[in-house]
Structure formats: C-alpha cells, structure tokens
Structure 1
C-alpha cells in the first residue's frame, strides 16, 4: 500500500487514530522505524503547517509501535529563524517513539563548503542488480526496491550500501521519502557479526543537508557503516546521496546487535 494511505488519518488535531493496513509496514512486533519516524514527522507538520524547512531530526525508538496510535506534538520553542517541535507516538498507554524536529529558515551564509563526495561511486541504479526482490523482510519486499551498490557480499568491512527507493511514492514529498528511507538498510555491523542474530534500531539522529532534495526516479544511495561495535551495540553512520552524487542526509544511529 502507498505510505500516503497510512498517513491519511493523521490530522492537525492529533490524538488517537487507527492507521490502515499497518501490518504491511510491520518489522516483527513494531512498525518499521522509517515509517514510525515519518508518522511522527507528519503529525508535527500537519499540526503546525507554517513551519520553515526541516533541518534535523532526533528519533528514539522506545518500544514497539502498532497501527493503533495516540499522536502528541508540541512546539517546544519558536525563535526568529528556528522552530523546535517535539512529537510522540503512544500505544496502549506508553510512549513508543519520541522525536525532536528542528525547522529553520535559510540565512545569509557565513560559511560555505560542500559535503565530501563518495570516494568509490558505485554507478547509478540502472547499472546495478536488484536485491531482496523475493526474500528478506516482508515490509521491504512490499514497499521498497533495492539495488546492489557495492561489490562486497557476506562478512567483511562493516558497511552496507544499496540504491533504494519507495515502490509507491504517491503523495510523498522528497523530505518524507528521506525520512522513510533513512533507516531501511540493516546496520553495517551485520557484516561483522560472528553468528546469526536479530538487529534492532534504538535511535536515529540526522541532519538534512538540502532542505529541498531531489533525485532521479526516486532513487537514493543509502550507506550504513559501523564506526564501533562491542557489548551488543553498534555506533552507525547513516548517509544518503542523490543520483547526481550529492549527499543530502548525514545521520548517526545506535543499533542493538543480539545473538
């Protein structure tokens, strides 16, 4: 189903709502992290429609979220240029996700330099084979298209890199696509695991480098790289580029590595 259908019941008033066909977006016991983050973001921008462009987000995945939610949001502070909004998802009387969004108007720049380009460009999505078309989690098979963007397969350097796009982008703006896609790949630490075991995102923090991102045919290059893993946790760097090789999102995540 289209993500826009899942978001349709979210109103400016917030409060309780039932998300249709949420099972299509479930990852085990909980809504997939990118979907739940987008639900919280949508609750914020529908409640406060005059916000400036999104610049950053901090999301904590506290507990499993389902299709029956209570949406809460508030403006924490509104300054001359920056507005900070908190939004939360509650399920069955407990907070399951809390997010802090930073919106900011553009100002006359006093420092300008581009993000670093990716050293080993993998070629465009049309040059790479499709992966997980008939296997992997159902929410990925049903809602995303992934293509290989690295030669490495199996154990090795703790990096996972894929071209990714939402299968049905109807009603989604590019910023919403990035929030939905930012958490779609498994942690890079997966390649360093000594034995099979489940993985789980605990939080996600990102800076949006372009408030009006664009790409070709909905494709974004996604890269998750473990910076350090030990004690059952991995510190991950998550980045997204458009098809022109311009980085549009820079993020960090703590992931739980079980098993």
Structure 2
C-alpha cells in the first residue's frame, strides 16, 4: 500500500527507522515534501498519544531526505490548552527536516469570523478535466489525481490552481491527508518564470481552519499563489478548500527558483 509505506514503519519510540519502496514518493533526489512532513507529523502524534487537535504546523525542508532516517521528537511545552511539539528527520547524522506542531483544545469562542468562500469558483471536481496524466515527478504520477480548476495556462498571473486527491486514502485520517497533499502543486511563480528551471520548497507554514476537515470523494481545491518573486525566491500563499468551496487550510511557503 502506498500510504502504508510512509506510516507503518513509524513507532512511538522513534529513533532509527527504515522505509521501503519509496521510489513512488520521490521528487528528484529527495522525498516529496508532503510525504516527509507526514512522516514528521506521524512521529509526533504516535509518540504523544494524548495531544489535542492539530491547529498549525511549521515545516523546514533543510536537506534531501532518504529512506534511512532517525526520527526525533519532543514536547517543547504543554499547557492546559496548548501543546507545542518539535519533530525532526535526520539522515546520515544531519537534520534534513525540522517541524514545529501546534496542538490546541477547542475553547469557548470570543471571536468568530469565517473564512471567505473561494473566489472564481471553478465548478465541481466531477466536471473538471484531468491534467498531468503521465506527466510530472514520480510522486504525482503514482499517488495523486489532478484536475483543472482554472482556464489559464503558460505564463501569466502567478497562480496555480488544481483539484487534487490522493489515489490511495485508505486508513489515513483527514488531517494527515491535508499534510500529505498540501504541498502537491508547483509554485505560482512558475507562471512568471522567464525560462524553465528547477524549483525547491524551503519551508511551509500552515494553519488548519477545521480540525476535522471533510470533503466529497477525496477532492480538495488546491491553490499556490506567488505574492512576490525576486532574487531567486518566491513568497507563496497556499490554500486548500473542500469540494463545497469552504476553506480548510491557509498557509505560506518560501520557494527557491533556480535557472
């Protein structure tokens, strides 16, 4: 099973962990960012079973991550309502991913303001045209289904929007599902690049707007939008909505633009 290859080897004890059959999760010479973030998150929640719901995450992609790792995690602080947990992936004696997870209980609200509905609604995923079939890196071809959610193509407004779902979601809780697919699209700055060249995610920070997200038939509307690109880097806003157009995740990312 595809998902099991990422999560089954992870134990509450952490430490040295070996992953098999990860070729279909690779992005060049490293593990796809969403997959490595899921490993770090799973290591945290399996080590500390009584954590409240996840509210936010900050993930730094430090160096390429391979199949032989050491998993480290610790509770930095745990209060009455909020727990903050650090988890790291180490390969060959060096840190390759560092993540900080914020968990928090639900409290009586003193402020209520729902996120705005998605603008430029592309229509339901069931009516959208498939895209990237047989194209792109191995992790997309083997693990995701993508469908068009915008009319533009090629250079133009630096926004990439697609319907996305995992081909195999069996046994995966909704929060882990969002972590796994939250980084699936290329940066919006891709549409502003003067020529083709490699790109690399450096970090990813996100807030969960719903601790128990739901959608229809596994489809999520994913959008990466470059807010500013210069000097070889792009500041990106990453958002996810469910199939009804309700936002469930709001994030930011720094991306290196080479070439």
Cα distance, 1:5 vs structure 2: 2.8
Task: Kindly report which structure 2 residues correspond to 1:211-222, keeping only aligned pairs within 5 A, or say none.
Answer: 211-222=211-222
Q: Which residues of 2 match residues 48-127 of structure 1 at below 5 A?
A: 48-127=48-127
The CA distance in 2 between the partners of 1:90 and 1:237, in whole Å, is 28
CA distance in structure 1 between the aligned counterparts of 2:96 and 2:3, rounded to whole angstroms: 20
Q: Hey, what does 1:180 align to over in structure 2?
A: 180
Q: What is the Cα deviation at residue 4 of structure 1?
A: 2.4
The aligned length equals: 259
In the TM superposition, residue 104 of structure 1 has moved relative to its aligned partner by: 0.1
Distance in structure 1 (CA, Å) of the matches to 2:139 and 2:180: 12
Q: CA RMSD in A?
A: 0.6
Q: CA deviation at 1:134?
A: 1.2
1:232 touches 1:257 (CA, 8 Å); kept in 2? yes
Name the residue aligned to 1:148: 148
Instruction: Tell me how far apart the structure 2 counterparts of residues 219 and 119 of structure 1 sit (CA, whole Å).
Output: 17
Contact 1:23 1:67 survives alignment (8 Å)? no
Q: Which runs of 4+ in 1 moved over 4 A?
A: none
User: Is it true that 1:189 corresponds to 2:189 in the alignment?
Assistant: yes
Shift in Å, 1:3: 1.3
Tell me the TM-score normalized by structure 2. 0.99
CA distance in 2, matches of 1:183, 1:225: 12
> Which stretch has the larger CA shift, 19-28 or 238-247?
19-28
5+ long unaligned stretches in structure 1 = none
In 1, the alpha carbon distance for the partners of 2:101 and 2:243 equals: 26
SS of 2:34's partner is helix
Q: Which runs of 5+ in 2 are unaligned?
A: none
Contact (CA 8 Å) 1:221, 1:241: kept in 2 or not? yes
Q: 1:139 Cα shift?
A: 1.1
Q: Give a deviation string over 1:93-133, Cα, whole Å, max 9, x none.
A: 00000000000000000000100111210011111111111
| 1:258, distance to aligned residue in structure 2 (A) | 0.3
Q: Distance between the aligned counterparts of 1:175 and 1:142, measured in 2? A: 21
Distance 1:5 1:195 in 2: 36
Corresponding residue for residue 202 of structure 1:
202
CA drift of 1:19 comes to 0.9
1:158-205 C-alpha deviation (Å, 9 max, x unpaired):
000000011000110110010001100000000000011001000000
Distance in structure 1 (CA, Å) of the matches to 2:52 and 2:6: 24
Deviation at 1:223? Answer: 0.3
Query: Offset of 1:232 from its aligned partner?
Result: 0.1
| Distance across 1 between alignment mates of 2:46 and 2:89 | 15
Cα distance in structure 2, aligned partners of 1:20 and 1:148: 32
What is the deviation of 1:6?
Answer: 2.0
